[in-house]
């Protein structure tokens, strides 16, 4: 699968693409990631790609001309998703990552925090995407986040396909707790069930822990999907298991509501 990333800071991507799982996938030829300097599309001696905003105001705005040219130079087909990374975008999620992983090519445009000419979002990009409710100085770290999350769904990139299938969000829940040696660390012990050798029991425990954690931290996730039959009883148990991780006494209404939705679906 091929990514084309359009940026005014190509040097930011070096370490990211050379190391770890992504670095291996690039070396194996599973991923072809090309970085394009937006300034290569600029006109004039100063290689200018931004200008002052019409109507006045602070900062500079990326001009549409170089961005359109950069995308048109690399886009293989009209089907290729062209993603503008900006804090004004729709919130990036696992479904988008899975969808884009099935494409031959994805083009990513890194915005600047001051802004990108609106016509890029209107007429060039097929989606405008943000990675969270905070503002970055530029879209580059967001592009790295998107590439990483998409790459995990490309067959062969992550060693075990099962580990992708069971990760947080794949099943609409946060991941269960994990433990390794030593069995006792600074007084905290690994739960006994993990040494029982009873795989069905361990599986139930993990599922219940995942649910309890999701209800505690992200009850909004639980309401989004009908629970599997096994999870209804897990949710019932989780209601009893739940303990506040903050000094709040009792269960907040949002968690109570998520539990109720879960058990009475
Ligand atoms: Cl995609 N870009 C910028 N500049 N800030 C962000 C963002 C993107 N997502 C969250 N904050």
Q: Which residue has the higher pLDDT, 159 or 102?
A: 102
The single residue of 50, 81, 112, 152 carrying the catalytic annotation is 152
Give the pLDDT score at 260.
Answer: 66
Based on the residue annotation, tell me whether 171 is a catalytic residue of this protein: no
Q: Which domains does the chain have, with CATH numbers?
A: 2-161 (3.40.1280.10), 184-263 (1.10.1270)
pTM: 0.87
Cα distances from 16 to residues 11, 22, 164, in angstroms, run 10, 8, 21
* Residue 185 Cβ contacting ligand 1 at under 6 Å: no
* pLDDT of 233 above 90: no
* pLDDT of 243 above 60: no
**CA-closest candidate to residue 154, choices 97, 108, 109, 107:** 97
108-122, 193-207, 246-260, range with the lowest pLDDT: 246-260
Cα distances from 122 to residues 95, 135, 179, in angstroms, run 23, 21, 48
Report the separation in Å between the CA atom of 191 and the middle of ligand 1, taken as the mean of its atom positions: 40
| Mean confidence (pLDDT) of the chain | 89
Paired with 84 in beta bridges are 109, 128
């Amino acid at each position: 699968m091929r990514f084309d990333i359009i940026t005014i800071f190509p040097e930011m991507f070096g370490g990211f693409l050379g190391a770890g799982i992504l670095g291996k996938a690039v070396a194996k030829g599973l991923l072809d990631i090309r970085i394009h300097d937006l300034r290569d599309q600029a006109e004039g001696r100063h290689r200018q790609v931004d200008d002052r905003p019409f109507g006045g105001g602070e900062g500079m705005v990326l001009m549409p001309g170089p961005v359109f040219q950069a995308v048109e130079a690399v886009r293989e087909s009209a089907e290729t998703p062209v993603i503008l990374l900006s804090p004004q975008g729709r919130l990036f999620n696992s479904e988008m990552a899975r969808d884009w992983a099935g494409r031959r090519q994805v083009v990513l445009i890194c915005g600047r925090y001051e802004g990108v000419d609106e016509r890029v979002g209107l007429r060039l990009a097929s989606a405008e995407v943000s990675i969270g409710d905070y503002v970055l100085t530029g879209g580059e770290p967001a592009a790295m986040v998107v590439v990483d999350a998409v790459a995990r769904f490309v067959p062969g990139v992550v060693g075990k396909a099962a580990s992708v299938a069971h990760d947080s969000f794949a099943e609409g829940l946060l991941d269960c707790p994990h433990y390794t040696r030593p069995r006792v660390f600074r007084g905290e012990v690994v739960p006994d069930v993990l040494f029982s050798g009873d795989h069905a029991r361990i599986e139930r425990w993990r599922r219940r822990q995942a649910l309890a954690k999701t209800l505690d931290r992200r009850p909004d996730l639980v309401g989004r999907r009908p629970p599997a039959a096994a999870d209804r009883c897990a949710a019932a148990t989780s209601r009893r298991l739940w303990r506040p991780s903050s000094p709040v006494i009792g269960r907040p209404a949002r968690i109570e509501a998520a539990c109720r939705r879960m058990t009475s679906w």
